[in-house]
Structure 1
Amino acid sequence: MRAFVVVGPGRAEVRDVAPPVPRIGEVVVDVERAGVCGTDAEFYSGHMAYLRSGDAAYPIRIGHEWCGVVSEVGADVDREWLGRRVTGDTMLGCGDCYRCLSGRQHLCADRFEIGIRGGWPGALAERLPVPVRALHPLPDSVDATLGALVEPGGNALRVVEAAGVTPTTRLLVLGPGTIGLLAAQIAAARGAEVHLLGRDEPSLAYARGLGFTHTWRRSNLPADLAFDAVVDATNAAELPGFAVGRVEPGGRVVYIGIAEEPSLVDSRELVLKDVTAVGVLSASGGLSGTIELYATGAVDPRPLVAATVGLSEAADVLAGRRLPEWGAAPKVHVDPRR
């Protein structure tokens, strides 16, 4: 089968590789669609922290936002899975440690991460092996574009829940990228007043085109505008501290973006303002809820996808080369069958 392989910083190729064979407890999925995200770009550039920690190494087969159809099952797996459209959890815990047994398998010290950690192959390929316990069925109303947006949507849903969003919440989202916009859409669906802060006009204009009328840069964000919760969905080292400074006393700050360098937060400010700060790692726990949001039409993130390309075009996308006609939509999908 064909698979996209990153072989070193700034170097990738489409290779013919052996197709996966399902082991005990696994299925093989024919990939319909896969998303490309910032983590994938960091592997391509060589900046991904796992490359330094030893949790990942070149060559690596990336891709962890995906959907597809189950085409093979392991000997012990119910054959009713065959032919079902699915997506799945990226985080694959060992299943036996304290964290896994207490429902925190996404924090397992020995976890695999599909297309990211431990050498588990990713979804930028025609076929993908997945443990059956990680699968989530997709209803017919969730098409391939939506299916490949379930994983980022699960992250965003967990962010919104961590922020405690209600219809009375005024929420500030830092960063109008994929996760930030998904969090904004989910929060708006819950009735919140959503504000978005970005650093360039094209991304803010795009957000306004989605219906978000409250868009700001730091230079024009009103000093007296109070926010019940702030979400940092950026990789800017200075914004975690900024988020604490802008949230109301007694409010909540949620961090999902990761800066390349340490970011400083003054814990005195957290204490004196009685702020709750929460970090979110992965979509685990948010996938089923996201599928329901998409299936019912409560949230439709399909406009976030600028284009769908083939495997041979993935390197250009990872390098940041975009066609002008794609506009400012933040997400690019890959169809491995092209």
Structure 2
Amino acid sequence: MRAFVVTGPGAAGVQQVAEPVAGRGEVIVTVERAGVCGTDAEFYSGHMTYLHTGQAAYPVRIGHEWCGTVTATGPGVDRGWLGRRVTGDTMLGCGHCRRCRGRRQHLCADRYEIGIRNGWPGALAERLPVPVKALVPLPDAMDPTLGALVEPGANALRAVRAAALSPGERVLVAGPGTIGLLTALIAAAQGAEVHVLGETTDFAREIGIEHAWTAEDLPDVRWDAVVDASTGAGIPARAVQLVEPGGRVVFIGLAAQASMLDTRELVLKDVTAVGVLSGSGALTGTVDLYASGAVDPRPLVAATVGLDDADAVLAGKRPPAWGTAPKVHIDPVPIFSGRFPS
């Protein structure tokens, strides 16, 4: 089958690879749509932390935001899964350790991460092996754009849950990328007064986020919670400075270098700080949000291109006609390849 493979920094392309075979407790998913995210770009650039800690190594088959249809089942899997449209958890724990038994498989020391960690192949391919325990069913009527946005949406939903907002409370989301904007949309759907902070604000306003600010015009108001979905090394400390005493700060963004934070401010303001890793535990809730129409993230997708175009996307080539929406999707079916706009 065809799969997109990153062989080194700035070196990648479509290759013919062996067909996946479903092992015990696994299925094969024919991929309908996959998203490209910042982690994929870091593998392409060579900056991904796991490459330097031994948790990943080239060649890497990337892609962890996906949806598709189950087309084969392995031993021990109910064949009723065949033909079902699904997405799934990125984090695949060992299933035996204390963390996995405590439903924290996303923190398993020996976990695989689809398209990211310990060599599990990713979804920028025609087919993908997935443990059945990681699958999340999708409604038949849910289009593939929504299906491939469930995984990033689940990260955002966990961030909103961690902020513990009551209706009418005010939240500041720093970083108007995909996760930040999804966080804003979900928080607004749950009744919060949402504000977004970024270097640019035009797109946030385009999708209906009325309160969008730069650092220069951010109003001096009470912030009941602050969510850092940015990549700025200075934002975590700023978030703690901005949040109301007794409020909550949620960290879901990652900077390229260490972020300095004075814990005395946390203590003296009685602030609760929460880190969020992955969408594990929130995928079903995200499917429900999308299916109900409470949240429609499709405007965040700038374009859908073919598998052969993934190299150009990761290299940062972006036709002006795409506008400023942050997400690009890949359709791995060969008929769609080669349509990258000139």
Q: Partners in 1 of 2:104 and 2:141 — Cα distance? A: 30
- Note the alpha carbon deviations across 1:299-324, whole angstroms, 9 max, x for none: 00011000001111111111111111
Within the candidate set 249, 271, 277, 2:267 is matched to 271
The equivalent residue for 1:243 is 239
TM-superposed CA distance for 1:168, in Å, is 2.0
SS of residue in 1 equivalent to 2:4: strand
Percent sequence identity is: 70
Q: 2:287 aligns with which of 291, 294, 297?
A: 291
Where 1:309 maps in the other structure, the secondary structure is: strand
- Cα RMSD of the aligned pairs, angstroms, is 0.6
Could you tell me which runs of 5 or more consecutive residues in structure 2 were left unpaired when the two chains were aligned. Answer: 337-342
Offset from partner CA, 1:123-154 (integer Å, 9 cap, x none): 00000000000000001232100000000000
Query: In structure 2, what is the Cα distance between the partners aligned to 1:248 and 1:165?
Result: 13
d(CA) in 1 for partners of 2:286 and 2:142?
11
Q: 1: distance between equivalents of 2:290 and 2:252?
A: 21
Matches within 5 A, 1:1-338: 1-200=1-200, 204-222=201-219, 224-337=220-333, 338=336
Describe the SS at the equivalent of 2:303: strand
Mapped to 1, the partners of 2:173 and 2:71 lie a distance apart of 40
1:51-92 CA distance string (max 9 Å, x none) = 000000000000000000000000211000000000000000
Deviations 1:186-236 (CA, angstroms, capped at 9, x unpaired): 000011110001112xxx1111111111111111112x2110000000111
Q: Tell me how far 1:45 sits from its aligned partner.
A: 0.2
Instruction: Give the AA of the match of 1:206.
Output: F
**1:130 and 1:64 mapped to 2: Cα distance?**
11
Between 1:106-115 and 1:310-319, the stretch displaced more is 310-319
**4+ residue stretches of structure 1 with deviation over 6 A?**
none
Looking at structure 1, the residues matched to 230 and 46 of structure 2 have their Cα atoms a distance apart, in angstroms, of 19
Aligned equivalent of 2:339: none
Q: Secondary structure of 2:312's match?
A: helix
Give the structure-2-normalised TM-score.
0.97
Between the aligned partners of 1:169 and 1:121, the Cα distance in structure 2 is 42
Q: Secondary structure at the match of 2:110?
A: coil
Please give the per-residue CA displacement for 1:152-187, whole angstroms capped at 9, x wherever unaligned: 000000000000122121000001110000000000
Q: TM-score of the superposition, structure 1-length normalised?
A: 0.98
Unaligned runs of 5+ in 1: none
Paired with 1:106 and 1:249, the residues of 2 have a C-alpha distance of 31
Amino acid at match of 1:320: G
Aligned partner of residue 167 in structure 1, secondary structure: coil
Q: Say how many residue pairs are matched.
A: 334
Q: State the distance in 2 between where 1:247 and 1:328 align.
A: 29
Counterpart-to-counterpart distance in 2, 1:39 and 1:64 = 9
Mapped partners of 1:335, 1:165: distance in 2: 37
